[in-house]
Structure 1
């Protein structure tokens, strides 16, 4: 059996195991999704969102890309945030990076990476913002690790800048944005302890999108929760 064919065999066994344990499992799963968590992480195949959080299918709304970036002109991630906040009512948004991230390492190299250049420029911008702190770290591996953390924090701030998050928090008290890093050497998550409320208050001096001129009907025209 080829590795490709093995996937379908694995799927069959998994489905049978789920039904043996709970005959109504797939019936409930197919009705709708009501996750409390939106997870934005790296595309790295070694960092599976549900597994590292110990949660089941249906518990986490997931978006992944190279370097766990939240770029305001990326309609993909912006649509995920909007849908998660406005239609799924997620209570927490998590940006999760990981130590040893290839995207972060590539961004720190002075090389032309072709089509990756505009994407990784977002991480290079974080490097530029914290250049003094990062250059003061003489251990290269620790410098990479610190940029991973700083990149997660800055991407979390980019989420807090969005109108969907600001307006939802003002009206409902959620979602809360969190910054995490996954350590593949230990299998553990590190909470970077982002102070969401303080960060929101600080950035709203410039990025306040909750003013009267920006108010829209809440919620907007309903969309189905299931995708």
Structure 2
């Protein structure tokens, strides 16, 4: 059984989301052992939705063997997904230029594997160059805590090439990290991370539910607008007056 949790970006203006990921997977929608859940990000940073971790736990309880989380594709802020999954696969395009400019260095350091997609037609030569550049770049990074070197693979969904190699890579990663005990330690670390995230969220929500605080914010907004106080001191004033 496979669960696919696809996170769609939400509009910063309206807050809405198209939720079009399911329409891209028309070949999978009607399969009996596949569950696809598109979810709006609602402005959450980190490339994932607010309830992603709870959804993964629910899918595990429901007996899904593989749970795939597709992020919104926001680049270097997709760091929260690392705290959700066992294996973090970074998808890149051939010839996008990132391999030369180091744009994705931050997220590359988090990746357990890199996959160059659309390796077909005129992109084949570009993909070979990109693969070599990414491999060279990864050698410059410090060794990972689990002693795993992220492989760089190429694939083409159009020609159905290289997909099996991706599955083999993930299986090798799982075997490697079960044997060295890293997988269990990483999941424990993830549970602590999401405990702190949830605690922060509850504290923030409880803070803003206070009617007195709402009134203080309105008053401070007027002072900020008129220039009586700067935003930083206004925030400190609000916090110190409710520090109890």
Greater relative contact order (Cα < 8 A, sep 6+): 1
Q: Same fold (TM over 0.5)?
A: no
TM-score by length of 2: 0.31
Larger radius of gyration: 2
